[in-house]
Structure 1
Amino acid sequence: MSNSFPRFPYPLSFEEGWSFIWNKGFLPLQHCLESGMDSRKKYGAEQWMAIYNTVYTLCTQKPPHIYADQLYASIKETEVQYLKERVLPSVKSLHNEFKLKELVHRWENHKVMASFLLLFPFFVAVNLKCFVDAMDSKDFRLFGQILCYECFRDNVFQAVKAEARSIILSLLEKERMSETVDQLLIQSVVRIFIELGNGSLKLYTEELETPYLKAVAEYCKGVSNRWAEEDSFPVYMIRVEEALEDEVRRCKTYFTEQTEERSLLICEAELLDAHQHKLLMKEQSGFIPLLLQGRKSDLARWYRLFSRPGVSQGIEPAAEMLRTQILQEGNDVVKAFRARLEQNDKNGGEKTLHGQELIETLMEIHERYLEVIITCLGSHTRFYRAIKEAFESFLNQPLGSVTCAELLSTYCDTLLKASGEIRHLSEDAIEDKLEKVVKLFSYLSEKDLFGEFYRKQLSKRLLFQRSLSEDLERSFITKLKMTCGSQYTSKLEGMVTDMHLSREVQEGFHVWLQSNAIQQVLGNIDFNVTVLTTGHWPTYKSDDICLPEELGRCLSVFQEYYDSRTSQRKLRWVHSLGVGTLHCHGFPFAKGKSFELQVSTHQMCILLLFNDTERLSFESIHESLNVGNSEQDLEGLRKYLNSLCSSKYPILRKDTTGNDQENAKNDEMYEINWNFAPLSRRIKIPLLMARINQEEKEATRTAVDEDRRHAIEAAIVRIMKSRRTIDHQRLIVEVSQQLMQLFNPDPKVIKARIEDLITREYIERDEQNSSLYKYVA
């Protein structure tokens, strides 16, 4: 060891050891801190070793010469004295930003002092058990930090914290006003508040964060009141968005994540939540005007702002406004349609065109608001619920003589018919419209009524070959299946499948004819049969019309072929759905050329009667065809005859010769109209069964009501079978829940079906409680 660091006698006295540590350790360090010199250059290795050995000796000598407690007390006293005499006066003597700079400078010096105490001599000393015992078991791993940080906090920081905080808040306020401030200085001072907490944010939270948040709230409250009065809603939102972004940047620059979260909640509450109702209801620029004007960017900004966690009411007020607006538009459209429908009913006009307009208008409203929800409102479920509630309300209103379910089904029929009114659309455009139809369909409460009407219309399209595309038919059925399940579309899928299988049967029939040399039996008749599964298709009346001999042979031949394929199924002929083509000759105005008539089976049978005579009475036609004698059968025959006497295609001519008004209809005479001049070589006579008439509509509604009664009874039995015992109100609720996917059952109807099941002894009332039902096994 060099001469400047002599060996001490043993045992070493505290006074001698402390004098060495003070003169060679603390005094040079304080000089370096005051002068700004790098303390690492002041101490050499030998000097560090000498100080280390001195501390080690004072702490490890044999009792009673252990001076650990005196050493700790002296070090702390030295630190406190330095802070009070040098540091505190230096900081207090300055003002404004200069005070903060001096505080930061003194704090950095003090951390150097803490490093000096921790890293070299005391790093070893504090790990000695004797020193730990003498120091009341303090955590000496943080000895330097505890000793120095607490000294600085108690003797310097506590005296200047209020003024330092005030200066920081003043600088931040200037920054809000777009003035330039020393950001690095603010960061350094905020870091002092954090570091003096010794790992806890309590000091930072109480002394800096809380006052800062209070200042943020006051600022936001003041500017928001002014903006709300002066600016339109879009301009207000732009200002708020900029203010929030500025606050985020400020918090990320200076404060902790905790402060950022709390500050944003306060900003959102003051800037957004406090003024939400007033802003939404602004007459010229509120939420509804933004919707009606299609201000998508402003609506998207609204959603970004008001869906924040600091807005207590959130998006609920706007969602309710959206529901009300959609409901108002929808009600206006439905009300206008109802008025036109009533006027049309009075004048005997058509409903179809107005129905198409209604559906397309509703689809336009739905798509317009749905696009807003998807592109601007974050596809939030609350807005989907708003549009659902609105459409369910007006889409299921009574319209008079028709329902929305019927109109929607008819619109689908118009889209999917090859001869529909929208023939100019491409398949992609039709697919898009069908997708929109399914969205409206999902809001219907009478899905079962829609399904029954759609099934009847689909049958007409398939049987009369009027479907635009089988792919489109299957695609739409798949969409319905995704909405209501496979049970809902099983019959529709079966109908399309039947048409495919029927073509295979027909191909097999032609092969069989050729292989068995039976084609000559049919003559020149091209005979095709469509075989359907009874359970899939609507119920059609089986008529026993007397067919011409040629057609009768065709039926017999096909019956023989079909029996050879299977003996498990029985064919039931439905002639009312048949169609045929007749070749007509001998009409003078046809210029010697033949032409073709496409007619129904009934029309064909009537016209073939005129091959043998030119004039027939209604009674003779009735007897020849062997049509039933009921009023409905006679009226049906007259309709077929009238279709052949129409002004557009007058193939026959009608002449009433009877004078008796009561028997005039039976005395009508029909004859071939040789003056008929065909305008083309192929003429399609309108098919009476191709469109759903009013009678079929009424029958469909009656069938749906009957199906509903059966569905309600089945649901009641299922519930009773699983529950065994249930009270009346609970049974009503559960039945409604089970059936609401297809229709909303009337509680009165449910009650009536319960009474009927009690009568039929499926369930019974409890003897003690009449509102309690029991299942009868």
Structure 2
Amino acid sequence: MEQQSGPKLHTTLEEGWGFMEKGITKLKRILEGHPEPSFTSEEYMHLYTVIYNMCTQKQPHDYSPQLYEKYREECFRDLVYKVVHEKVRKAIILLINEEREGKQIDRALLKNVLDIFVEMGMDCYEKDFEDKMVKDSGAYYSRKASSWIVEDSCPDYMIKAEECLKKEKERVSHYLDSSTETKLIEKVQQKLLVAHANQLLEKENSGCRVLLRDDKVDDLSRMFRLYSQITKGLDPVSIMFKQHITSEGMALIQQAEDAAASKEASSSSAGGHEQVLMKKIMELHDKYMAYVADCFENHTLFHKALKEAFEVFCNKSVAGCSSAELLATFCDNILKKGGGSEKLSDEAIEETLEKIVKLLAYIDDKDLFAEFYRKKVARRLLFDRSANEEHERSILSKLKQQFGGQFTSKMEGMVTDLTLARENQAGFEQYLREINSVAHLGIDFTVTVLTTGFWPSYKSSDLVLPREMVNCVEAFKVYYGTKTKHRKLTWIYSLGTCHLNARFDQKPIELIVSTYQAALLLLFNGAARLSYSEIIAQLNLTQDDLNRLLHSLSCAKYKILLKDSNTKNISKSDYFDFNSKFTDRMRRIKIPLPPSDERKKVVEDVDKDRKYAIDAALVRIMKSRKVLGHQQLVSECVEMLSRMFKPDIKAIKKRIEDLITRDYLERDSENPNVFKYLA
């Protein structure tokens, strides 16, 4: 039979070298005198055959060069490397430390020697050199840090630390293996920066707080660079940043409190301190936002620190005014005629409005701001005090973008109302011309029609108007009836303004007064002297309203009426005369009414709205959950409402009880801390 020969199987390098290593090890043990049995003839021949085959196999399976190299290395490791590597390592570490001290060394020689460690295998490089070198480096920098932390300022210490880290990275690139960099740098950071972090950052005359106080931007940037490379390294820096901003903000609040107290003590007009405070807070925000961007590279930790700091002092009240009211007042001053806007360019106003919206984000009671702001918008619009309608729309757009459409819907409606009101007035004047009634009215008469839901609630009264005004009101009613059949007009005389031509003995003066004041003064066209009781009967006003009117006209700056008693208060027994001898250097004067307690009304309205908002949130949550524990219901309610205000926990509990009595919710019969929704 003919023998079939199959394909010849080749021995791989790994298999062959593994077999050879066993033989070499046995041979070394025999030569070194260890108790080891001699090679049998079969073992020797088998070893010989494997080596022979690996060196005579056809390419690419001829492994003779690789086998020679491995055999040569094995003799080098045992005869040279193992004998000298410890001495070599010590010499290298000594040279590295000399270089750290500024001495010139032969880096090329070091590179060549260290390459031998690498050629012996990475386990040899790491175990026989790297581990010991990194440990020694730690000891070296620990000694350095111990002296520097005592001798140097925080900035000087950081400069040295940064330079050391830079040099260690260079060292790796020139002669150490690249795999060493992470371990070496972490060790140096640990010894220079982590171990002395508290001492360094809190140095009395040069630490982090001092750098913030003295605007040392470069040093703060270096601090960020160094500690951002360390896990949680920035935590203490951000805490100090937050504490520093909080401290500066609280100092501004205290300054405003002191200014308010001194103004009150000196009986001078208050209010300016609020404007100064808001301006300074905005400047503070600009300053530290620049720090966050430039020194701290917009790191989220520092954005969070700044936010939390501003939330502390931006929610403090000053002289009884909440931060929400202060911000609304500041904004009003920017947007009204005669306010800060006339000194600012359009671009500067836009920038300021942007800053107002940013500050509002830190205020808890955004709903309170919205109500105060709505009142002030109403005054600007109704009394033609707004400096620029574009700016009015601009801030509403910014507020809407930041806090949602619900936040601004009423105020946007108010601005739109004024546009429609102008069109309405033009239509009314056209109507009067068509029926030839302009002369019949006898006076210029302007009506502003408002949509009830958009505007703050105003008190309407049954004031008895003078005949001239009655004719105007009736004419407008007829006109408006031709425009719509389904709308009811409610006249708010308290918002009206009148211009009266008053003839005094010396000269005529134009008086700008409210509709109420005008109605009262016009009574004196028919009588030179009137009693308190006669006036109240003819005008049909409440005593409080009449007292305010008479005080403004007889006891305040402009005494258009003379009161028979010399007291500062209005009495039911008083009589009043028209002061024909009154004069003033101006040809037109405005006679203000005493300010009403608008703040109290706003707070009351907001508190009422909050009750409805809490009720709605609780019902919405329970409707979706059906059954919920007390703690979770409260926390979800707080979360839902926190965009507009921070609800009081006691108020939430009270609203839950109210919803139970109104059969929206019920307590679980077995667990009173669990609520069920009643559909």
Quickly name the TM-score band, shorter chain normalised.
0.7 to 0.9
- Whole-Å separation in 2 of the counterparts to 1:647 and 1:756: 48
SS at match of 1:597: strand
Aligned-pair CA distance for 1:702? 1.4
1:678, CA displacement in angstroms? 3.6
For 1:720 and 1:530, the matched residues in 2 are separated by 44
State the distance in 1 between where 2:75 and 2:408 align: 82
Within 5 Å, give how 1:281-680 maps onto structure 2.
Answer: 281-309=202-230, 312-335=231-254, 337-338=256-257, 350-397=269-316, 401-420=320-339, 423-515=342-434, 517-523=436-442, 525-584=443-502, 586-590=503-507, 594-627=508-541, 633-645=542-554, 648-656=557-565, 665-680=571-586
How far apart, in 2, do the equivalents of 1:260 and 1:389 lie?
38
Range with greater deviation from structure 2 (643-652 or 253-262): 643-652
Q: What letter is aligned with 2:164?
A: A
Provide TM-score, normalisation by structure 1.
Answer: 0.75
> What is the SS of the residue equivalent to 2:297?
coil
Q: CA offsets, 1:66-88, max 9 Å, x none?
A: 9999xx99xx99xx9xxx9xxxx
Query: Is contact 1:126-1:143 (8 Å) kept?
Result: no
Q: 2:209 & 2:493 partners in 1: Cα distance? A: 58
Does the Cα contact within 8 Å between 1:126 and 1:141 map onto a contact in 2? no
Q: What is the aligned partner in structure 2 of residue 16 from structure 1?
A: none
Structure 2 spans left out of the alignment, 5+ residues: 1-5, 29-53
Report the Cα offset of residue 456 of structure 1: 1.1
Residue aligning to 1:767: 669
Q: Which residue of structure 2 lines up, in the alignment, with residue 191 of structure 1? A: 115
Q: Does the alignment pair 1:213 with 2:146?
A: no
Shift of 1:765: 0.8
The CA RMSD measured in Å over matched residues stands at 3.4
Partner SS for 1:767: coil
Q: 1:683 and 2:593 equivalent?
A: no
Retained in 1: the 8 A contact 2:324–2:368? yes
**1:87 equivalent in structure 2:** none
Structure 1's 542 and 162: CA in aligned 2 closer, same or farther, altered over 3 A? same
Distance, in Å, in 2 between the alignment partners of 1:359 and 1:468 is: 20
Deviation at 1:153, TM superposition (A): 4.3
| Cα displacement (A) at 1:335 | 4.5
Change (3 A) 1:427 1:648: farther
Deviates more, 1:495-504 or 1:723-732: 495-504
Q: Distance in 1 between matches of 2:380 and 2:65?
A: 89
Shift of 1:305: 0.9
Does the 8 Å contact 1:763/1:774 carry over to 2?
A: yes
CA contact (8 A) 1:323 1:387 kept: yes
1:180 counterpart (104, 118, 129): 104
Q: State the identity %.
A: 41
Is contact 1:589–1:678 with CA below 8 Å preserved after alignment? Answer: no
1:730 aligns with 2:632: yes
Q: Helix, strand or coil for the counterpart of 1:774?
A: strand
C-alpha spacing 1:647/1:398, structure 2 compared with 1 (3 Å): closer
Letter in 2 for 1:160: V
Give the whole-Å Cα distance in 1 for the aligned partners of 2:557 and 2:326. Answer: 28
Deviation at 1:221, TM superposition (A): 1.1
Distance 1:546 1:169 in 2: 103
Task: Give 1:416 deviation, angstroms.
Answer: 2.2
Q: Deviations over 1:562-617 (max 9, x none)?
A: 23223332221111111122234x43322xxx543222211222233333333333
Pairwise CA distance, 1:377: 2.2
State whether residues 127 and 140 of structure 1, in contact with CA within 8 Å, keep that contact through their aligned partners in structure 2.
no
TM-score when normalising by structure 2? 0.85
Please, which runs of 5 or more residues in structure 1 have no aligned partner?
A: 1-61, 85-120, 132-138, 628-632
SS of alignment partner, residue 382 of structure 1: helix
Displacement, 1:268?
A: 1.0
Q: Deviations over 1:443-469 (max 9, x none)?
A: 222222222111111111111111222
> 1:273·1:313 contact (CA, 8 Å) conserved in 2?
no
Report Cα offsets for 1:386-433 as digits up to 9, x if no partner: 233333233334656332222222222222221336753444444434
Instruction: State the aligned residue count.
Output: 637
Give, in whole Å, the separation in 1 of the partners of 2:194 and 2:451. 63
Report the equivalent of 1:27.
none
Q: 1:547/1:249 Cα in 2 relative to 1: closer, same or farther (>3 Å)?
A: same
Q: Which whole-Å CA distance do the structure 1 matches of 2:648 and 2:539 have between them?
A: 46
CA distance in 2, matches of 1:715, 1:647: 49
Q: Does 1:234 align with 2:158?
A: no
Say which is worse superposed, 564-573 or 724-733, in terms of deviation. Answer: 564-573
Summarize the Cα distance change of 1:501–1:153 in structure 2 as closer, same or farther, 3 Å threshold: farther
Contact 2:548 2:593 in 1 (8 A): no
Shift of 1:483: 3.3
Letter in 2 for 1:190: L
**3-state SS in 1 of match to 2:563:** strand
1:724 deviates by 0.5
